[in-house]
């Protein structure tokens, strides 16, 4: 009897369950959004979604052939690994390929064997010749361009961008020369990076520099998620790798050369990490001690792929369904309520911009950028006072002398 | 020359020299302040205090007030004391009105504080209840419940910002206790078996609160900045969604793998007009879209497809893990140099005959039905799989190689593009986890096949973007204030000041309006605050002094001032020396004279004595 009773209990429980289940799944509605969202696809371990590269050669003239070759070699590498030209900003004096002293016109080689023409048929120099200035470089990093700057000259990175900044040229302790006319200091670079971080213009940044005393250039950097590496320690020189006797100039620097030895074997699918790259640095070959600064960088270098900075990211997500659309005839555009709110504020911003057109270029005493006739005609009262004082002084003196 | 004349001459000379030195010094001393003033960097003063105010996490408390309107059909409304019901519902909402008020009291403010700290967001609900005679409570039993049903139940209320909750009767045969249908026009329909007050409250209030709770976590999670490796859904969503911009450019591209196989054309303009224009129109309040299209031939993907001949379905396929390399970024011309607005790309890819039919295999190795994928913050790609099946059709055209995509052909592709675009722009479908719902409640969620976005989704997007813009604007202003404060010789023009003031004004207005429920207006304020603050921050004039250290200034002025100042200082020194000497001499002379006089007196006295 007892056993029978428990059986009944069990059976009734089972029945109850079946009932519940049936009621769960027997509704008359069709429920399209029931399933949990499944995201199928491939996502990189890094959190970035796009890659940018800023490649700068700060020197000019024929004898600095190797610096152009350095930059073009890195340019070739990042392009080979999938960063599109629209995401590469190349700053280059570009006076070597067609230099009269170049025996091999319209070419740039990074090796005396001259097998690979870096100049090739498809390079896009964004800042050329005298455009390679400290001002333009800072504008590029901070994003403060004059309004007519084309898209290709802008670094339009966002909070999900990994940015590679490669620089080469002649430098000294805490400065890097820009084309013999000006120089950028390590503080300027550090401040520019901080400006980028303030507006989240990068997710992670790799700063790579091949110059003398390279490590001093990133010693002042203080913004997070920046990884920096350079060809030499403070106090050390960096050296060129070898000379092309027919060109008569050195064709590549040692540090870049040995970086390329590794990078040439990296493919998009490669799992080689930056730690691996840094481990290949051999002081006896490079002739200087390469510096690596990773105290600001959060990820373990063993987990950072080389392609996180030198290649394009390849996140994708499969689309599982379309969004159902209906359509009547071609001219049947559904009636939409027009926005009743007129946005007057746009006009106000326009007005602010328009009103101040005269001041687009700051009144700057150090550089003569713009001669404003309206301004110069209006003598400021202070200046008037000063000149009156000066003239009266002269008259006074002359009277006394006579 | 007599001695007297010489003295006079010397005196004159001294005064002359003094005058000369004095006047040069005078010019110099007047000149310095004038020079200082005229070479000073122009700095308009910024309202630092007001900017700082927005950094205080407590000032960033955003409270959205939600207007809910319960609508009962007359046939049940007449049995119910509407005022009483309204009070009950309101009190029920008030009880649960805790969303976002998880009061973490302000912890110490560190430098990066403002970024890691999510804003405080809350929703408060205002309920009013009314009855209508436009329909009966059994309307759900007569009509099909689909998109058109939404249009059926529309009240002519002037108030656009209300959410209407309709109480309706459920079919007797339905197995669930209640069904909920979320319509496309801000409708929330509750189908009940028993129309009692308790049931009305029980099956609407918790679900509505849950709806907004989900929205709340969605907004909050878009602010957290995790740097650990994780592949959570939230992280992927954040990775996928574009940052807010007031303008986007959308480029629809048709890539033809091999022109020798097909010559293709598409009616893309008509297709966009008829499928997408309502969508863009609806979203134009949030962002504007510039749309362009192109056809590129010989656009073969660099990815080589694999061949599969299993189970009588011979096809080529691409694996998910390689799809990231599908884009031939070196040769496909996708970037537009025209505008700096963020580009969104959509690609329809026609594989060459040698590689078709071409399918995508998902991670399990099955054929993906849609044959489409999305690249986060980049765009979407659809691989055409129907090309082969339409050969016969093309033959009728007289030219076997020519194929034109008509507007109808493009419909499935446009549907995929729209789904991708929606997720790229951060439009979330309303979803409930089964655990969020009371037992035996079913929720159906309507889509809008005309506009491509329902009013609920639009409102959610509006609120999310509003919060993001407000926070971003206040952060940008703070960064700007920090920058201007730290670089003392940076030029700050009036324009910057005006923009900052304008941005602050917009922020103020947005916070004032936010309780009014007029999300569109609030959004516009937030958008303008963001635009103005970013324009101020990225103003080209803000860079001029960034790299001009003081040493450079000394180098510029040294050659000017050194040659003048050295002789001036020397002359002054000489003059003082002479004066001192003169004084001493005079004193000495006086002493000598005194002595002489004394002598004379003594002499005379002695004379007297002698005489």
- Chain A interface, best mutation among B43, B191, B324, by max A CB count within 10 A: B324
Taking chain B, what is the end-to-end CA distance rounded to the nearest angstrom?
40
- Strand-pairing partners, residue A158, are none
- Strand-pairing partners, residue A127, are A91
A230 SS3 class: strand
B278-288 pLDDT, tens per residue?
A: 899 888 888 99
- Chain A interface, best mutation among B29, B501, B547, B564, by max A CB count within 10 A: B547
Reported as a pLDDT band with limits 50, 70 and 90, residue B114 is: very low
B321-370 pLDDT, tens per residue?
A: 888 888 877 778 887 767 888 899 999 998 888 877 888 888 887 888 88
Reported as a pLDDT band with limits 50, 70 and 90, residue B389 is: very low
Distance from CA of A281 to the nearest CA of B (A): 28
Between A373 and B396, the higher pLDDT residue: B396
DSSP-derived letter for residue B283 is H
Distance from CA of B279 to the nearest CA of A (A): 9
Using a pLDDT cut of 70, give the percent of chain B over it: 80
Of A26, A224, A319, the CB nearest to B380: A319
Reported as a pLDDT band with limits 50, 70 and 90, residue B599 is: low
Lowest mean pLDDT among A28-32, B33-37, B91-95, B186-190: A28-32
Distance from CA of A51 to the nearest CA of B (A): 12
Measured in degrees and rounded to the nearest 5, phi and psi for residue B507 equal -60, -45
Q: Is A31 an interface residue toward B (CB < 8 Å)? A: yes
Q: What Å distances lie between residue A46 and A73, A243, A274, CA to CA?
A: 25, 40, 13
Reported as a pLDDT band with limits 50, 70 and 90, residue B63 is: confident
Tell me the chain A residues in contact with residue B173 when contact means C-beta distances shorter than 8 Å. 28
Query: CB A332 to CB B452 under 8 A?
Result: no
Lowest mean pLDDT among B104-118, B470-484, B491-505: B104-118
Of B38, B378, B449, the CB nearest to A325: B449
Reported as a pLDDT band with limits 50, 70 and 90, residue B179 is: confident
Which pLDDT value is given to residue A78? 92
DSSP-derived letter for residue B274 is I
Q: What Å distances lie between residue B427 and A52, B64, B208, B235, B238, CA to CA?
A: 27, 19, 19, 15, 12
Chain A residue nearest residue B277, CA to CA: A333
Reported as a pLDDT band with limits 50, 70 and 90, residue B591 is: confident
Which pLDDT value is given to residue A25? 38
Of A158, A319, A396, the CB nearest to B372: A319
Q: Which of A212, A241, A294, A354 is catalytic?
A: A212
Specify whether the CB–CB gap between A132 and A96 falls below 8 A: no
Q: Is A159 an interface residue toward B (CB < 8 Å)? A: yes
Using a pLDDT cut of 90, give the percent of chain B over it: 6
Taking the C-alpha atoms of B136, B142, B145 and B150 in order, what is their torsion angle to the nearest 10 degrees?
Answer: -40
Which pLDDT value is given to residue B434? 64
- Residue B497, CB-side half-sphere exposure with 13 Å CA sphere: 12
Which pLDDT value is given to residue A76? 92
Give the C-alpha separation, B194 to B165, whole Å. 17
From the DSSP assignment, how many helices (H) and strands (E) are in chain B?
17, 16
Which pLDDT value is given to residue A4? 59
Reported as a pLDDT band with limits 50, 70 and 90, residue B99 is: low
Tell me the chain B residues in contact with residue A198 when contact means C-beta distances shorter than 8 Å. 479, 482-483
Q: Is A100 an interface residue toward B (CB < 8 Å)? A: no
Distance from CA of B600 to the nearest CA of A (A): 42
Is A170 marked active-site? yes
* Rg over CA atoms, chain B: 41
| pLDDT surpasses 50 at B238 | yes
Reported as a pLDDT band with limits 50, 70 and 90, residue B574 is: confident
Q: In terms of Cα–Cα distance, which of A399, A387, A389 is closest to B20? A: A399
Between A14 and B262, the higher pLDDT residue: B262
Q: Is A284 an interface residue toward B (CB < 8 Å)? A: no
Which pLDDT value is given to residue A364? 38
Distance from CA of A283 to the nearest CA of B (A): 33
Can you give B513-528 as a three-state secondary structure string? HHHHCCHHHHHHHHHH
Chain B residue nearest residue A203, CA to CA: B227
Tell me the chain B residues in contact with residue A330 when contact means C-beta distances shorter than 8 Å. 270, 273-274, 407
Taking the C-alpha atoms of A275, A277, A283 and A284 in order, what is their torsion angle to the nearest 10 degrees?
Answer: 140
Q: In terms of Cα–Cα distance, which of B578, B554, B524 is closest to B14? A: B578
Give the C-alpha separation, B166 to B153, whole Å. 9
Of B42, B476, B543, the CB nearest to A199: B476
Q: How many CB pairs under 8 A join A and B?
A: 322
Can you give B346-403 as a three-state secondary structure string? EEEEECCHHHCCEEEECCCCCECCCCEEEECCCEEEEECCCCHHHHHHHHHCCCCCEE
Instruction: Output the pTM of the full model.
Output: 0.80
B247 SS3 class: strand
Q: Is the dihedral of CA A132, A138, A143, A144 positive or negative?
A: negative
Of B274, B339, B447, the CB nearest to A327: B274
Which pLDDT value is given to residue B252? 92
Of B243, B270, B543, the CB nearest to A142: B543
Return averaged pLDDT per consecutive 10 residues of chain A, 402 residues in all: 61 53 40 51 76 93 92 92 90 90 90 88 88 92 89 89 94 90 88 89 93 92 92 91 91 93 88 92 91 90 90 83 70 46 58 53 37 44 77 82 68
Q: What Å distances lie between residue A118 and A55, A124, A268, A397, CA to CA?
A: 14, 12, 20, 69
- Chain B interface, best mutation among A50, A152, A227, A318, by max B CB count within 10 A: A318
Span B48-69, average pLDDT: 78
Q: Is A333 an interface residue toward B (CB < 8 Å)? A: yes
């Amino acid at each position: 009897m007892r056993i029978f009773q428990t059986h009944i209990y069990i059976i009734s429980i089972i029945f109850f369950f079946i009932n519940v289940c049936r009621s769960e799944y027997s509704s008359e509605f069709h429920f399209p959004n029931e399933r949990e969202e499944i995201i199928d696809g491939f996502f990189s371990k890094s959190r970035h979604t796009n890659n940018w590269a800023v490649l700068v050669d700060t020197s000019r003239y024929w004898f600095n052939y190797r610096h152009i070759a350095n930059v073009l070699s890195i340019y070739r590498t990042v392009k080979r690994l999938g960063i599109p030209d629209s995401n590469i900003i190349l700053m280059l004096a570009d006076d070597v390929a067609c230099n009269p002293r170049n025996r091999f016109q319209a070419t740039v080689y990074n090796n005396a064997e001259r097998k690979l023409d870096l100049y090739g048929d498809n390079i896009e120099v964004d800042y050329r010749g005298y455009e390679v200035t400290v001002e333009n470089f800072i504008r590029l990093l901070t994003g403060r361009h004059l309004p007519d700057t084309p898209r290709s000259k802008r670094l339009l990175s966002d909070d999900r961008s990994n940015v590679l900044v490669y620089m080469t040229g002649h430098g000294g302790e805490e400065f890097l020369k820009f084309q013999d006319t000006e120089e950028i200091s390590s503080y300027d670079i550090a401040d520019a990076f901080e400006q980028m971080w303030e507006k989240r213009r990068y997710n992670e940044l790799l700063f790579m520099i091949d110059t003398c005393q390279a490590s001093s250039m990133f010693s002042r950097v203080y913004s997070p998620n920046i990884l920096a590496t350079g060809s030499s320690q403070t106090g050390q020189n960096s050296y060129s790798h070898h000379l092309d006797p027919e060109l008569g100039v050195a064709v590549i620097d040692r540090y870049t050369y040995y970086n390329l030895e590794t990078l040439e074997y990296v493919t998009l699918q490669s799992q080689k990490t930056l730690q691996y790259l840094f481990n290949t640095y051999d002081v006896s070959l490079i002739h200087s001690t390469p510096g690596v600064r990773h105290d600001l960088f959060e990820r373990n270098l063993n987990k950072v792929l080389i392609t996180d900075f030198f290649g394009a990211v390849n996140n994708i997500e499969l689309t599982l369904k379309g969004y159902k659309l209906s359509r009547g005839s071609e001219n049947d555009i559904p009636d939409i309520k027009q926005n009743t709110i007129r946005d007057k504020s746009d006009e106000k911003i326009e007005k602010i911009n328009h009103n101040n057109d005269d001041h687009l270029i700051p009144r700057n005493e150090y550089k003569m950028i713009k001669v404003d006739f309206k301004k110069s005609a209006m003598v400021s009262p202070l200046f008037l006072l000063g000149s009156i004082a000066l003239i009266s002084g002269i008259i006074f003196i002359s009277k006394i002398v006579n | 020359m007599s001695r007297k004349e010489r003295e006079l001459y010397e005196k004159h000379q001294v005064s002359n020299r003094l005058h000369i030195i004095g006047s040069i010094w005078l010019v110099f001393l007047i000149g310095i302040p004038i020079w200082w003033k005229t070479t000073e960097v122009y700095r308009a003063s910024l309202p630092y205090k007001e900017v700082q105010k927005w950094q205080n996490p407590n000032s960033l408390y955003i409270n959205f007030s939600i207007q809910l309107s319960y609508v009962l059909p007359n046939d049940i409304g007449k049995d119910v004391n509407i005022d009483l019901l309204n009070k009950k519902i309101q009190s029920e909402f008030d009880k649960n009105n805790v969303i976002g008020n998880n009061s973490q009291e302000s912890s110490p403010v560190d430098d990066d504080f403002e970024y890691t700290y999510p804003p405080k967001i809350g929703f408060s609900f205002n309920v009013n209840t009314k009855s209508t005679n436009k329909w009966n409570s059994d309307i759900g039993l007569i009509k099909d419940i689909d998109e058109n049903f939404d249009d059926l139940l529309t009240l002519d209320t002037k108030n656009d910002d209300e959410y209407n909750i309709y109480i309706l009767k459920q079919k007797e045969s339905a197995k669930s206790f209640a069904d909920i249908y979320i319509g496309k026009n801000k409708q929330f329909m509750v189908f009940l078996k028993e129309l009692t007050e308790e049931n009305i409250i029980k099956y609407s209030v918790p679900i509505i609160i849950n709806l907004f709770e989900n929205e709340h976590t969605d907004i909050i999670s878009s602010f957290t900045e995790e740097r650990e490796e994780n592949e959570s859904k939230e992280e992927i969503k954040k990775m996928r969604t574009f940052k807010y911009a007031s303008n986007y450019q959308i480029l629809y591209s048709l890539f033809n793998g091999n022109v020798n196989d097909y010559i293709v054309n598409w009616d893309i303009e008509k297709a966009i007009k008829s499928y997408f224009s309502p969508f863009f129109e609806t979203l134009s309040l949030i962002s504007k879209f510039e749309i362009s299209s192109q056809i590129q031939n010989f656009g073969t993907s660099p990815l080589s497809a694999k061949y599969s001949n299993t189970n009588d379905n011979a096809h080529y396929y691409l694996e998910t893990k390689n799809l990231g390399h599908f884009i031939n970024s070196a040769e496909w011309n996708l970037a537009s140099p025209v505008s700096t607005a963020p580009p969104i790309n959509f690609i329809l890819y026609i594989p060459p005959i040698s590689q078709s039919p071409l399918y995508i295999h998902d991670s399990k190795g099955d054929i993906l039905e849609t044959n489409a994928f999305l690249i986060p913050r980049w765009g979407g790609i659809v691989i055409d799989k129907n090309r082969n099946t339409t050969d016969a059709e093309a033959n009728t055209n007289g030219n076997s190689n020519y194929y034109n995509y008509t507007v109808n052909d493009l419909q499935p592709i446009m549907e995929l593009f729209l789904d991708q675009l929606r997720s790229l722009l951060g439009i979330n479908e309303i979803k409930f986890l089964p655990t969020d719902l009371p037992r035996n409640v079913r929720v159906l969620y309507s889509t809008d096949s005309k506009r491509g976005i329902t009013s609920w989704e639009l409102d959610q997007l509006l609120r999310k973007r509003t919060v993001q813009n407000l926070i971003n604007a206040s952060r940008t202003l703070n960064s700007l204030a920090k920058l201007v404060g730290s670089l003392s010789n940076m030029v700050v023009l009036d324009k910057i000041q005006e923009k900052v003031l304008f941005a602050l004004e917009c922020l103020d207005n947005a916070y004032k309006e936010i309780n009014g429920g007029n999300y569109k207006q609030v959004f516009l304020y937030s958008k303008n605050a963001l635009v103005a603050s970013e324009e101020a921050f990225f103003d080209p004039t803000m860079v001029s002094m960034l790299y001009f250290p003081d040493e450079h200034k000394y180098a510029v002025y040294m050659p000017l001032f050194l040659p003048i100042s050295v002789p001036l200082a020397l002359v002054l020194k000489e003059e003082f020396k002479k004066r001192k000497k003169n004084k001493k001499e005079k004193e000495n002379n006086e002493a000598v004279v005194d002595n002489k006089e004394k002598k004379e007196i003594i002499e005379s006295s002695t004379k007297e004595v002698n005489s």
